[in-house]
Structure 1
Amino acid sequence: MSNIVEIRNLRVKAKTDSGRVVEIIKGVDLEIAKGEVVALIGESGSGKTTIALTLLGHTRSGCSIASGSVTVDGRDTVAMSEAERRRFRGTTVAYVPQSAAAAFNPSKTIMDQVVEVARIHDLMPAAVARQKAVELFRALVLPDPETIGARYPHQVSGGQLQRLAAAMALIGDPQVMVFDEPTTALDVTTQIEVLRAFKAVLRDRGMAGIYVSHDLAVVAQIADRIVVLKDGEVQEVGTTEAVVNHPSHDYTRALISAFHPQAKSSPPSDAAAPAAPILQVKSLMAGYGAMGQDGLPKYVVLKDVDLTLERGRSLGIIGESGSGKSTLARAIAGLLPPAAGQIEMNGKALAGGVRQRSKEELRRLQIVFQLADTALNPNKPVGAILARPLFFYHAMRGAARAAEVDRLLDMVRLPKALKYRLPSELSGGQKQRVNFARALAAKPDLILCDEITSALDTVVAAAVLELLDELQRELGLTYMFISHDLSTVEAICDRVAVMYEGAKVEEMPTSRMKSGAEHPYSRLLISSVPQLDTGWLDGLDDDPLLRSAMADRRAAERWAVARRQRS
């Protein structure tokens, strides 16, 4: 089987903040055969995405290819002119980004952007491109495939937008696909469908792929071989089976050992004197669109949600993409005023909108957003981003504020030199840690964490979870932790609430999550968590319980679509 990708002695250099030129990719060799999927794994900053981007002849700002060759289908992307690269991208090689939110234009419809490659390269008539896009929407298990293209990016969930980015890449029928953390924003049930769709598309079209990920369980399902990277160098190469089950390098063994964070020990039982509630949510309803005569928005997302969170504890919110998890966080934070119900903090009712809340109420309740790309000001260096809440909430200035910025960076395991960099100069994991440090700057009582570890590799995510646990013990912090990663919820949370179609269907102690879930949807979620087993995904077809649950879920979705069309 001939190679469609050959990377030889690749060296990439970058300029540091002090102007010094350093080598960040150090003589990497890599081959990908036709129809083969090769995964690049390693911690944040190891060079995974940098190597993958060279297949498109591209490097991040401040970086350049110093030497070596990157041959794709017989053509060296390093030696191409920029005009040749533009013709090459989207047809020979295509890219699915880590953050779909940053890849879409908010002012254009989804359909116009998905078919743009076909229009730019004049691949097919517009009507044919639109029909092909609908077929891809259906293959990627997107809701309302016939009409979702008419929406704008902000009108779909993060997981749906990530799948739409995959459709955009696939429409040009490329020979090589570059997947850069494409399932990062997906819940576990959707992830199964998307991974199956990716495998089917690659297999049916004979496409090769390079798959960048920090999720070893996902890699185990889709990759034929794994390349382990650290500090821009290859540490280990082998078949997926060999690397997962018999790693030879110490660093690979460390990655695998960090795959499952240690489950949080149950808090001591104190039934006689339970901790006081810091947050109470009562009959909360929220949504989007114009308000109707019944006083409810056109699109109701949250439906009579009740929650109680005790001081110093952590509550996990799990559920599939579009279940209302992030909407719940936005409503509690005051970014989306509720249509009905009440939110109380420390026994006092909070105003629905953030503008009506006092500065002290804002300080006590902070939110860390899911998408660091859109949450951080791209024109401000990290130091200025962290300094702003220090001045706003604590009136800190001068040397005291500068010292606190350094302390915050140290708390989230980032070097102090990063305070001079812009967000675009950071990796995805680094941006997410800056996002969390900004919330800590307010010295809050309660932090709403919306998928804050989704962009982190397993080693860094395990360190951040350990940090969150340590800060909770030292500072008495309370967390509401929204995630589709059940192992993360298990590691940080005392209790977990399950959301489905805007309603809370079950709540239980985290220790009972895997063995004692009672609601059928809760059991479906938990059984959908990928395992570090190369045959796990293919073996799901032999699980009658899961197959039945997925069939019931699809039937419920078809009914919901029909109901929306009738209304």
Structure 2
Amino acid sequence: MSKDRADGRGGPDTEPVAELRGLRVETGGKVIVDGVDLRVLPGKVTALVGASGSGKTTTGLALLGTYPPGARVTGEVRLTAEGPAGYVPQHPAAVLNPARRITALLDDIARAQVRDLPRARRKAAVRERVLRALADAQVPDAEALLRRYPHQLSGGQQQRVVLAQALLLGARVIVADEPTTGQDALTKRLVADQLAAVAARGIAVVLLSHDLDVVRAVADEVLVLKAGRVVESGPVERLWEAPRHPWTRALLDARTASGPADATAVPGAVGGSPEPVLVVRDLTARHQDGSGGRTVVLRTPELQVKAGECLAVVGRSGSGKTTLARCLAGLHRDHDGDVLLDGTPLPRSLRSRDRAQLASVQYVFQDARAAFDEHRPVLHQVARTAVRLRGADAHAAGAEALATLERLGIPEDLAHRHPGRLSGGELQRAALARALLARPRVLLCDEITSGLDTVTRRDILATLTGLLRDRGDLSLALITHDLDTAALADRIAVLDAGEVVEQGPARRVLTEPAHPFTVSLTETARRLEVGVGR
């Protein structure tokens, strides 16, 4: 991707399409954004990076005139662009109506834009606009996707649908909040290319991201935030080559330290016992299609998670990774075959599993916000797991929950807050703490590091691998698109189009892949890491 993609648009003398001057946002007595200045230029990608809770999302949403409830806002927000501002949220399921098919969600937007056409031409025009937007958002097999409901899509597919909505609206400014969260290297590259293509049409893009490889590949300017303040800003290449602030250097160093070339960078990677704790045999999973039929989305003849082992399951969005994890957890009942825990078949439905079985297999969701009750404090919800699944008394459960949350980087003041007052990354860590309170045999982690900055991701992975080292009875299944994370596993299983196409020791799969899809995945990840195409 070229730095000159906008044909000279967005230079220093160009009028910004949006601008923040001295933005300060305070809520509940806490300052979450403090004195942020930001110029958003047409045809340019401006990236905001920093830890979870640093103020990236609050700053981005200010461009849309949206603030946390009860927030006290000072400073100036100026918008000059004609047309709406589009928003692609970190958790796309929150803005997709679960009761409507994707075709209905997109048709509504397109229909409003063709009202001046003759009635006979409207239907075809709506379809053309919808399919073009989906293609621009890098959505494969759009016709099949249009028939599905949001819950039948992977997180990456949901994000691309929301991006298609923004493109359909004709937005002149698009705020993309972690648009590559939970996506494989191939899809990340496509999203990066798409953001560059959007900017090439003169649209301003504000990218809020923890994914520094994507930031380097696509951004023109970068602002580094820490505790609500901009600690450093400048052209992306200058920040990468000569970072001036210690926090910028820490973010870049943590990214380098967790790469696949050094699988021992995060301490605690272990070799598992030969005894399998969880076994999948002849698993065939299906989804309901739009015509009332059932479509096979996953076939897994055999897969094992051994005691004390970390198994990483990688593949593209929509390849069946999350469906596999949901089958293991009893959340997806429409499947044949067996899931065995210590040789005993598990009921297909979560509702049919007893308390010990529920505690033994715990699921940490990709969309942590949707997994919490917004009306109860986080600490109460984390502690409740120990009460319900282990029979712990409330006082002991609360103390254990607080200690676990603090170990994962959630201090006591945050633990007592309601979920809406925590960032997405903070909620992911809280969700992990809640699962650990069950003291599981198998921990299913679905993209739990995808919304975290590099420093926090390294710490979370160190915690997980430390748990594997210290608890010989815990096994870990990592559902991930991130090959840096997968490199820390003992073994990797690669899914493509619902099939396990390759599995084996992690280092061998990443350095000497045998299947063409794995080769493509690893090569694309390496190109992204070095920012090829700028």
TM-score by length of 1: 0.84
Would the aligned equivalents of 1:118 and 1:124 in 2 still touch at CA under 8 Å? no
Deviation at 1:134, TM superposition (A): 1.4
Partner of residue 213, structure 2: 217
Task: Report % sequence identity.
Answer: 38
Partner of residue 132, structure 1: 129
Deviation at 1:259, TM superposition (A): 1.1
Would the aligned equivalents of 1:9 and 1:68 in 2 still touch at CA under 8 Å? yes
User: Aligned letter for 1:502?
Assistant: G
Distance 1:6 1:110 in 2: 33
Aligned counterpart in structure 1 of residue 174 of structure 2, from 157, 173, 177? 177
Partner of residue 276, structure 2: 277
1:372 aligns with 2:368: yes
1:288 aligns with 2:287: yes
Deviation at 1:351, TM superposition (A): 2.4
Partner of residue 551, structure 1: none
Partner of residue 443, structure 1: 439
Partner of residue 349, structure 1: 345
Deviation at 1:482, TM superposition (A): 0.7
1:7 aligns with 2:7: no
Would the aligned equivalents of 1:217 and 1:530 in 2 still touch at CA under 8 Å? no
Residue-by-residue CA offset, 1:461-482 (whole Å, 9 max, x unaligned): 1110011111111222210111
Distance 2:432 2:112 in 1: 39
Distance 2:439 2:188 in 1: 35
Matches within 5 A, 1:202-281: 202-203=199-200, 205-260=201-256, 261=258, 263-265=262-264, 275-281=274-280
Deviation at 1:537, TM superposition (A): 4.1
User: Aligned letter for 1:61?
Assistant: P
Q: What secondary structure sits across from 2:494 in the alignment?
A: strand
User: Aligned letter for 2:171?
Assistant: P
Partner of residue 37, structure 1: 45
Distance 2:152 2:219 in 1: 32
Deviation at 1:63, TM superposition (A): 2.3
Would the aligned equivalents of 1:217 and 1:531 in 2 still touch at CA under 8 Å? no
Pick closer, same or farther for the CA change 1:305–1:323 going to 2, 3 Å. farther
When structure 1 is superposed on structure 2, of 322-331 and 118-127 the one drifting more is: 118-127
Aligned counterpart in structure 2 of residue 50 of structure 1, from 38, 58, 68? 58
Pick closer, same or farther for the CA change 1:104–1:69 going to 2, 3 Å. same
Deviation at 1:6, TM superposition (A): 2.2
Pick closer, same or farther for the CA change 1:217–1:186 going to 2, 3 Å. same
Deviation at 1:129, TM superposition (A): 4.3
Aligned counterpart in structure 2 of residue 69 of structure 1, from 48, 56, 76? 76
TM-score by length of 2: 0.89
Would the aligned equivalents of 2:327 and 2:335 in 1 still touch at CA under 8 Å? no
Partner of residue 526, structure 1: 522
Deviation at 1:437, TM superposition (A): 0.9
Matches within 5 A, 1:532-543: 535-537=531-533
Partner of residue 5, structure 2: none
Aligned counterpart in structure 1 of residue 100 of structure 2, from 105, 108, 113? 108
Would the aligned equivalents of 2:136 and 2:164 in 1 still touch at CA under 8 Å? no
Pick closer, same or farther for the CA change 1:137–1:393 going to 2, 3 Å. same
Deviation at 1:121, TM superposition (A): 8.2
Partner of residue 557, structure 1: none
Distance 2:525 2:115 in 1: 39
Distance 2:57 2:526 in 1: 23
Deviation at 1:379, TM superposition (A): 2.5
Distance 1:305 1:151 in 2: 26
Would the aligned equivalents of 1:115 and 1:171 in 2 still touch at CA under 8 Å? no
User: Aligned letter for 1:345?
Assistant: L
Deviation at 1:327, TM superposition (A): 0.9
Distance 1:153 1:350 in 2: 27
Partner of residue 192, structure 1: 189
Distance 1:457 1:159 in 2: 18
Would the aligned equivalents of 1:158 and 1:185 in 2 still touch at CA under 8 Å? yes
Distance 1:42 1:268 in 2: 30
1:301 aligns with 2:297: yes
Would the aligned equivalents of 1:244 and 1:532 in 2 still touch at CA under 8 Å? no
Distance 1:526 1:276 in 2: 30
Aligned counterpart in structure 1 of residue 428 of structure 2, from 424, 429, 432? 432
Deviation at 1:251, TM superposition (A): 0.9
Distance 1:348 1:521 in 2: 34
Deviation at 1:394, TM superposition (A): 2.1
Pick closer, same or farther for the CA change 1:417–1:535 going to 2, 3 Å. closer
User: Aligned letter for 1:458?
Assistant: T
Partner of residue 498, structure 1: 494
Aligned counterpart in structure 2 of residue 95 of structure 1, from 87, 90, 93? 87
Partner of residue 470, structure 2: 474
Would the aligned equivalents of 2:275 and 2:306 in 1 still touch at CA under 8 Å? yes
Matches within 5 A, 1:149-160: 149-160=146-157
Deviation at 1:141, TM superposition (A): 2.5
User: Aligned letter for 2:402?
Assistant: D
User: Aligned letter for 2:14?
Assistant: S
Q: What secondary structure sits across from 1:285 in the alignment?
A: strand
Pick closer, same or farther for the CA change 1:27–1:124 going to 2, 3 Å. farther
Aligned counterpart in structure 1 of residue 30 of structure 2, from 22, 30, 52? 22
Would the aligned equivalents of 1:114 and 1:165 in 2 still touch at CA under 8 Å? no
Distance 1:240 1:105 in 2: 37
Would the aligned equivalents of 1:241 and 1:534 in 2 still touch at CA under 8 Å? no
User: Aligned letter for 2:103?
Assistant: M
Which structure is richer in relative contact order (CA contacts within 8 A, separation 6 or more)? 2
Q: What secondary structure sits across from 2:487 in the alignment?
A: helix
What is the RMSD of the two structures over their aligned residues, measured on CA atoms?
A: 2.4
Pick closer, same or farther for the CA change 1:286–1:34 going to 2, 3 Å. closer
